[in-house]
Amino acid sequence: MIIGIPKEIKNNENRVALTPGGAAVLRQAGHSVIVEAGAGAGSGFSDDEYAKEGAQLLPSADEVWGKAEMIMKVKEPLPAEFGYFREGLTLFTYLHLAAEPKLTEALVQHKVTAIAYETIQLPSGGLPLLTPMSEVAGRMSVQVGAQFLEKNYGGRGILLGGVPGVPPADVIILGGGIVGTNAAKMALGLGANVVVIERSAERLRYLDDVFHGRIRTLMSNPYNIANAVQKADLLIGAVLIPGAKAPKLVSEDMVRQMKPGAVIVDVAVDQGGSIATVDRVTTHSAPTYEKHGVLHYAVANMPGAVPRTSTLALTNVTIGYALELAGKGVIRALYGNPPLKLGVNTFQGHVTYPAVAEAVGLPYTGLDSLLPIS
């Protein structure tokens, strides 16, 4: 198979879909890897490193998209890339289509097989290709939150961990999954008071156990959320429903009750956000806006700020699935890998993931009804 790696064009997105080491693995399996010149530069990987591993460097995105049978990316294609779509193309990337109706329509129109990293799901419920970026984003949420609490960034002017004789900040985390757990680790490590709000009693027991009672846990309900949000210095949205829009757990009125200069970091913004006042997506070049006296950070590609770490972590988990898709061909790979089947969001002009179809208002068609009989 010919696998193409274009340069990411999203604002300040410095990750790349494949490391030179990943290219070597695909080449050793007999596949061709074509890389747009400069695609790895933001992550610290030179063109020479890719060439050394047998990848072919091409000067433009047009050539990479045009020659590849499967495109591997990091972020969802932007409108400037829709023109590259064609029938027979396989796209393997983070898609988050529930918040991207125009992208979904373009993929359907051009009959692209679009496989989303974030909806590949194991029988256990784990999301193996989303997990490493959730770990990065969860840890970053506290890091950026601590920064924007500084007065010169518009925050309350407080130190997350406090100092002797001065209380630490109150960090409220909505969701106790991978993002929330990693956010709690960082916030606790910096000395903050940490509260995690989660709807699963079993997960709350797990968090209480692994943190040895050093964080407070609350059952998710409107009453607990409203009371906790009002006390927050830093509020982190860490809610995920695979493939679907994030539920709005924090109302605009709750945000109005927050302390002046408090900070919101909504990691779920690429799925629509879990906080009502997160009504726009920001970028690394202009990451925040103020509403009701509260600073909002709503960058949809947070791990792009630490591209070296993120690219290495991403390739670690995507390479196995890429090998299967390339080695068996898409159809045979899907038959043999149920978690991978769940990653298919569009196929042959149909939306094949129910939560996406519901979110964007397009008909849902079960993937099995579209696959040829094995």
Domain residue spans of the chain: 2-112+307-369, 134-305
Active site residue 350: no
pLDDT given for residue 374 in this prediction: 57
pLDDT given for residue 245 in this prediction: 80
Annotated binding site for NAD(+): 134, 203, 220, 239-240, 267-270, 280, 299-302
**Spatial distance between the Cα atoms of 30 and 2, rounded to a whole number of angstroms:** 10
Best CA proximity match to 75, nearest among 127, 39, 131, 116: 116
pLDDT given for residue 247 in this prediction: 87
Q: How far is CA 349 from CA 18, 85, 137, 242, 372, in A?
A: 27, 12, 33, 22, 15
Annotated binding site for Mg(2+): 324
Q: Which CATH class is domain 2-112+307-369?
A: alpha beta
Annotated binding site for substrate: 15, 75
pLDDT given for residue 93 in this prediction: 98
Q: Are 2-112+307-369 and 134-305 equal in CATH topology?
A: yes
**Spatial distance between the Cα atoms of 251 and 354, rounded to a whole number of angstroms:** 26
**Spatial distance between the Cα atoms of 372 and 351, rounded to a whole number of angstroms:** 17
The residue annotated as part of the active site, out of 170, 233, 266, 270, is 270
- The distance in angstroms from the start CA to the end CA of the chain is 21
Q: Which CATH class is domain 134-305?
A: alpha beta
**Spatial distance between the Cα atoms of 111 and 87, rounded to a whole number of angstroms:** 5
pLDDT given for residue 336 in this prediction: 84
**Spatial distance between the Cα atoms of 240 and 266, rounded to a whole number of angstroms:** 11
Active site residue 96: yes
State the number of CA atoms in the 13 A half-sphere of 369 facing the CB: 9
pLDDT given for residue 79 in this prediction: 97
**14: which residues sit within 8 A by CB, 6+ positions away?**
8, 42, 43, 304, 305, 307
For the chain, residues with pLDDT lower than 70 are 374
Annotated binding site: 15, 75, 134, 203, 220, 239-240, 267-270, 280, 299-302, 324
The residue annotated as part of the active site, out of 31, 96, 110, 350, is 96
328-345 exposure pattern, b = at least 16 Cβ within 10 A, e = fewer: eebeebbeebebbbbbbb
pLDDT given for residue 322 in this prediction: 98
